[in-house]
Amino acid sequence: MKRTLKAKEEGMVLLEAIVAVGVLTTMFAATMALFTASVTGVNLTNDQLIATYLAQDAMEQIIAKNQYNFDNGEDWLFDMNNCSLAGGCALDYFSADVDTSPEKCVDANNCKLYFESGVYTTTGINESPYTRVTTISLDALNHQAVVEVEVSWLSGEDTLTYTLRNILYEYLQ
């Protein structure tokens, strides 16, 4: 004997199919939202890591310049005066002669970093999303200096910032 579905049973099968498709669609949408949030988090972490390296690079340049001054009998902050002025400076000691004074930042666009051949520099064609400003603040007696490197970048509509601070002390000859 062959069994046939009644109209009421046919409606239930259709309803079950629609509910199953709805559940699967909801699960897929949730998975995609989780994936999107994960990718956004990875991109933000990558940007923060690059900013950390850029700040550390500038700090290392200041420390190296300070050591260079010591080794050559110069004043401990020789050739870093542009970083002591309001607005800070864009420095790139390693891309030119080590005696070259850092360029003063008139505004954030003056301290833009460029990405050329896998290296971030203060000059170039391929503008990166990062700006880097280095400031040096002397204490009242001029025996120590607070070096602050601020790296900023645009992430969506927000401007994010990473700041690194270090203290340099005047050396005695």
**pLDDT digit string, tens, across residues 22-58:** 999 999 998 888 888 888 788 889 999 999 999 999 8
Would the pLDDT of 2 be above 80?
Answer: no
What does the pLDDT average to over 150-173?
Answer: 87
* Residue 136 CA: distances (Å) to CA of 85, 133, 149, 167: 8, 10, 9, 9
Please report the pLDDT score of residue 98 as a whole number: 44
Please report the pLDDT score of residue 114 as a whole number: 86
Chain mean pLDDT for the chain? 82
99 — pLDDT class (breaks 50, 70, 90): very low
For the stretch 155-164, contacts whose Cβ atoms lie closer than 8 Å and that sit 24 or more positions apart, written own/partner, are 155/44, 155/47, 160/47, 160/48, 160/51, 162/48, 162/51, 162/52, 162/55, 163/55, 164/52, 164/55, 164/56, 164/58, 164/59
Would the pLDDT of 83 be above 70?
Answer: yes
The distance between the two most distant Cα atoms of the chain, rounded to a whole number of Å, is: 109
What does the pLDDT average to over 62-86?
Answer: 83
Please report the pLDDT score of residue 6 as a whole number: 63
Percentage of the chain exceeding pLDDT 90: 23
Would the pLDDT of 130 be above 80?
Answer: yes
Q: Which amino acid is at 71?
A: D
12 — pLDDT class (breaks 50, 70, 90): confident
Helix (H, G, I), strand (E, B) or coil at 75: coil
* Residue 152 CA: distances (Å) to CA of 39, 44, 98, 113: 21, 13, 25, 10
What does the pLDDT average to over 103-114?
Answer: 75
Which segments of 34-125 are extended strands (E)?
89-90, 103-104, 112-116, 119-121
Please report the pLDDT score of residue 110 as a whole number: 72
